Structure 1
Amino acid sequence: MLAALALLTTALLFGGMTLYAFGFAAVLFKTLPMPSARAVLRGAFPWFYLFVIGTAALAAALWWPLHPGRAAVLAAVALSTVPVRQLLMPAINRATDAGDRRRFAWLHGLSVGVTLAHIAACGWLLAGLA
């Protein structure tokens, strides 16, 4: 039972991050005017990061007694998301508000890279279970 919960929680994390990164944001930019899309994303990202932190931490706790290596990967996802939410996201918002496109592009690229690394890590864990 614990293994099934650990697997399902990891799959939820992978699916949630993938849907948000490749679905939700893209749909917003295609269906809403740019200022509205940006406002919705700015409001949604703190919740997205809390989802990643909480779900990754839960998955790590579930994996711990079964496979500490998997738990460590998921704990790293949870822990590395905290500075993204608390430091990087506000810096991205400040760059946007200041109209500093160059700084925004660099910081946004960094946040995308971190998210893609998290998705890859979860996908690697799941693929290893197939």
Structure 2
Amino acid sequence: MAVSLHHVVIDTHDLPGLARFWCGVLDWRILSEREREVVIGPGESAETGICFMPVSEPKTVKNRLHFDLAPDDQQTEVERILALGARRVDIGQSETVGWVVLADPEGNEFCVLRPKASLIAFRDAPDRR
């Protein structure tokens, strides 16, 4: 492969604060911390991480890209992530969807999906289109 994903970059006002939040959510760690960037990942040898970069302007619209998190237990993970500083957000989703929409401390939306086992069953269903 000629190219691979190295980092997902998130603009932020509070580099160390948002990096610590996402480390808590993903059970990752800070891999490097400089004045103008903080990089987190699951470990030093990880191929992909998240890089936090400073920005002066506030977030004003819904994200064009977001994370979908696949938990073992959706309700438990939603409560844990809320305790880390996330908040629930309404982006127009109905109450019957299988995911919960949250926002990190700077308002970046992400979803906590239904449990991993049900996602695998859905993916492997023979009649899925």
Please give the TM-score of this superposition, normalised by the length of structure 2. 0.26
Higher strand share: 2
Please give the TM-score of this superposition, normalised by the length of structure 1. 0.26
Higher helix share: 1
